[in-house]
Structure 1
Amino acid sequence: MALPSSVLRVACMVCSAGTIFGFGIAAIAGVLPALERSFDLGLASEQRLVFSLVIACFFGALAAGPLSLRWGRRPVLWLAALVSAAANAWMLTSPSYGALVAARVLAGFSIGLLSMVAPMYAAEACTARYRGGVVCLFQLAITGGILGAYGAALAFEGQGQWHLVLGIGMVPALLLMAALVGLPESPRWLHRQGRVEESAEVVAKLGLQQEWEAAPPASASAPADWIALLRQGRVAAVLALCAGLFVLQNLSGIDGILYYAPHIFRDMGFSGERAALLATFGLGLANFLATLVGVVLVDRLGRRPLLIGGSAAMAVGLAIVVLAAFQGWPLVGLLGLCLYIVAFALSLGPLPYVMMAELFPGALRERGIAFASAVSWLFNALIALTFLSLMDAVGLATAIGLFLGVCVLSLIVSLRWVPETRGVSLEEIEARVLAGERLRRLGR
């Protein structure tokens, strides 16, 4: 059955935003050797170059909450698109090391904005029937951007054209601008601003009438004291769960693998820069294909089963990598990483974005999602700044073993606290959160 045109428009925006995200964070991985030669970088300088974008993502995510609350979702998406285009155009000029760091800070700020606002807009602009799949498209596009970044590095490998690899990020920024042209403001944001007639028009345009009438959003006069709201029902527990899922996502090892995959494969025994890049591209392809499956399954199997099964499979995959690192089996290690990546792409990759977009009450949604996103980027930055040093200090097997422990913890959290929200409207979920239902009972 064909998707409604309104859903397709939102999906195009989400895909463009996610591609900016994925390409931006992964493009550096394939060109680090070239940058090392061009600027005579040491280990610490490489980590700082990666860190510069990620810490800017943290500040972008922090800013996204108050900006999207004051201006609306659409203006913030436009700001992110314009900043991203400018940053990538700057990288195309083959800047100096300092200018490259500055350009990456700009790119990171735009990615931080998108990481919070794009999934939130998608959740607010889609019906419950399509919401999970459309929000998951954000993670699919992230993996597509990652795959594109690895492919670009492989295509230009050995040619010293690192500026072209990094500057290609302009393309999804321009696509995001094109996608935003036909999109209205979020109807839920308009309603909470007291612009009821405008919100009704947008509801009709997005095909949300039936859901809107069945469970109307809170009135514009609803209390806006978010500190007091934190004390109501299970709001604080929802905040802790969403932030915790992002901490688990980042500490499970995905960031170290995405940023430094060529380094990891060289340590595992793949000889030569091209062999490491080929293995990295294979990992990116597995990531993309598995996320594509996840988009289909999230609204069929549900959030909870995917998180539980995915966390368990991630732990098994990393256990295989640890064994392979001890035994010196590079191909077995690659298979273990592929299993880990596939499981991550079906579970801990997309689902924290879905859960945070669904669980926060409307009056706290901007601040709650901004907080969860900022926590994610803070731990992401920690991995970016320390992973190579950790691997150098304790060895690949021990470093991966630490990530294995986090995957086991993710399995425990998923079993004990994660609710099933498939097919439940945002307003129904909000009512249960405010009524104080246990976390496991917030959905179906």
Structure 2
Amino acid sequence: MSNIVLRIAALVLCFGILFGFGMTSLTGVLDALAERFELDTAAQEILVSILVICCFIGAILAGPLSSRYGRRVCMLFAAALMILCYVLILGEPTYTGLLVARCGLGLGIGLSSMVVPMYAAEVTVARHRGAVVALFQLAITAGILIAYSVSFLFALTWPWTHVLGVGVVFAVAALLLARALPESPHWLAAVGQSKKARQVASSLGLHTELPELDESAQAHRDTEALTTTRPAPASASRRSIVSVLALCGGLFVLQNLSGIDGILYYAPHIFQTMGFDAGKAALGATLGLGLVNFLATLVALKYVDTAGRRPLLLYGAALMSIGMGMVTLASLYQWSWMGLAGLCLFIMAFAISLGPLPYVMMSELFPTAFREKGIAAASSISWLFNALIAFTFLTVVQWISLTGVLLFFLGVCLLSWLIAYLYLPETRGTSLERIEANVISGKRLRDLGRNE
């Protein structure tokens, strides 16, 4: 693996850690914050979900911003914004100040969640592309593990500001790495800077993709002219693009409704409900989940470009269903250790399937002319349902019990397997330009990864 690919991977790693840490760092200090600011259940849900809601807004803004100003500028802005917010947190803000800081973190995370996988897919050679993009999910799990580890080790001794403020280290690293990498050649070609695009593509080792890059840029300009001069025609290509959006958006909906968000945000509460003692026992079980999540994602990273997208998602969704079934039984009968085993199985299966693959698929399937808007739409859908879970989980558990919520998650896991079986294409080893040609020609979803 070349030096440039390693630098791209490091960038993806830092932004992914910021994602995972920012989303879950509150888990270990939520009780302390509830006591410090006298928060009821609704106020706790607001504190958790405000970041996710702003992630949704950031994902919506990501498409037009990255299209106009470029991927690199958006990444620089996201990193700088997160640095400012972590500095605010380290200053021990009031409850209102903490909400403002989490809003800013959400905007930065939402923006980077769309731009970074897209950038990585556009600047990485095809043989490493799947692994580098999937590294984003591994980094998210690393950020989650870091957040859980800091909470387990220091939540009872450190001020909550320090527990939450650790993320500033990764924000600074992300800013420095983004400054050291070039703009995406796909974006440069799309805005008419063909000479510079070819120079950057050559420096990135994309030699074999240079002719296809010119064709992709011309297709982008032709499509832009078409959409600005007259209404889009009802064509096979348009239907295919809508199908891609439906698949990618649907994968993110299934990802968020599978139960992963409720587990990550409220794991200590879930473990206490299943019979674990509050405090170190619940935090320790939560840390165990984070470790399993990270290790399983590491395995997925190794096999995403060899085992293929379809097998990973099909086998993963099946194992997720088994794990969630175990957790449901454990919740019903208060079998705490069976619940922990079921959650570990669920997390392992999620980490090799529905965790990384939606990011890989959305970065691969959208044509250049629609990539910013398509990925922004898919990411926005993801954050919308993520926010829904964060904002309602504790309340819904009070209404229908934890067992009822887990049964719903089980149904979503089963539906994920069915959707993958019917529609998911295999894109392993296929160039972005070949996939784009298949989409434009109107091929069905299952055939978009074919090279002929």
TM-score by length of 1: 0.98
Shift of 1:223: 2.2
The residue that corresponds to 2:105 in the other structure is 107
How far apart are 1:235 and its partner, in Å?
Answer: 0.6
> Could you report, residue by residue, the CA deviation over 1:339-358 in whole angstroms, capped at 9, with x for unpaired residues?
00000000000000000000
- Aligned partners of 2:198 and 2:210 also within 8 Å: no
Residues 1:303 and 2:306 are matched in the alignment:
no
The structural deviation recorded for 1:37 is 1.1
- Secondary structure of the residue aligned to 1:292 is helix
- Count of aligned pairs between the two proteins: 442
Aligned to 1:335: 341
State whether residues 155 and 163 of structure 2, in contact with CA within 8 Å, keep that contact through their aligned partners in structure 1.
no
Contact 1:133 1:296 in 2 (8 A): yes
For the residue of structure 2 that corresponds to 1:94, the secondary structure is coil
Task: Give the Cα–Cα distance (whole angstroms) in 1 for the partners of residues 267 and 419 of structure 2.
Answer: 28
Offset, 1:214: 5.7
Alpha-carbon distance between aligned partners in 1 of 2:210 and 2:416, rounded to the nearest angstrom = 35
Structure 2 residue corresponding to 1:281, chosen from 279, 283, 287: 287
How many Å apart are 1:230 and its aligned residue?
A: 8.3
Partner of residue 228, structure 1? 232
Structure 1 gaps, min length 5: none
What secondary structure is seen at the aligned counterpart in 2 of 1:271?
A: coil
In structure 1, the residue matched to 2:419 is: 413
Could you give the per-residue CA deviations for residues 32-76 of structure 1, whole angstroms, max 9, x where no partner exists?
011011011111010000011000000000000000000000000
For 1:275-424, what aligned pairs fall within 5 Å after superposition? 275-424=281-430
- Distance in 1 (CA, whole Å) between partners of 2:442 and 2:15 is 34
Tell me if structure 1 keeps the 8 A contact 2:323–2:345.
yes
1:10 partnered with 2:8: yes
Is the Cα–Cα contact under 8 Å of residues 23 and 148 in structure 1 kept in the other structure? yes
Deviation by residue 1:151-176 (Cα, 9 ceiling, x = unmatched) = 11112232361111111110110110
Structure 2: runs of 5+ lacking an equivalent: none
In structure 1, the partner of 2:133 is 135
**1:124-177 alpha-carbon deviations (Å, 9 max, x no partner):** 001110000000000000000000001111122323611111111101101101
Q: Measured at CA, do residues 75 and 315 of structure 1 come closer, stay the same or move farther in structure 2, by a change above 3 Å? A: same
> Using the alignment, how far apart are the partners of 1:363 and 1:61 within structure 2?
18
Q: Deviations over 1:1-45 (max 9, x none)?
A: xx1111111111100110110000010111101101101111101
* AA in 2 matched with 1:337: L
Distance in 1, matches of 2:221 and 2:36, equals: 58
1:222, CA displacement in angstroms? 2.0
User: How is 1:165-244 mapped onto 2 (pairs within 5 angstroms)?
Assistant: 165-213=163-211, 216-219=215-218, 221-224=221-224, 225=226, 228=232, 232-233=236-237, 234-244=240-250
The one-letter code sitting in structure 1 at the alignment partner of 2:14 is S
> Cα deviations across residues 285-331 of structure 1 (Å, max 9, x unaligned)?
00000001101100000111101111110010000001111121101
Partner of 2:34: 36
Give the whole-Å Cα distance in 1 for the aligned partners of 2:386 and 2:412.
14
**CA offsets 1:347-382 (integer angstroms, 9 cap, x no match):** 000000000000001000000000000000000000
Equivalent position of 1:74 in the other structure: 72
Asked whether the 8 Å contact 1:268–1:330 carries over to 2, the reply is yes
Q: Which is worse superposed, 216-225 or 119-128?
A: 216-225
Sequence identity percentage? 52
Distance in structure 2 (CA, Å) of the matches to 1:48 and 1:161: 21
| Distance in structure 1 (CA, Å) of the matches to 2:401 and 2:156 | 28
1:391 shift after superposition: 1.1
Letter in 1 for 2:232: A
| Conservation of the 8 A alpha-carbon contact between 1:229 and 1:364 | no
**TM alignment of 1:153-164, pairs within 5 A:** 153-159=151-157, 161-164=159-162
Distance 1:284 1:350 in 2: 15
Query: Matched residues in 2 for 1:386 and 1:229: separation?
Result: 41
User: Partner of 2:434 in structure 1?
Assistant: 428
Residue 229 of structure 1 contacts residue 235 of structure 1 at CA under 8 Å; is this kept in 2?
no
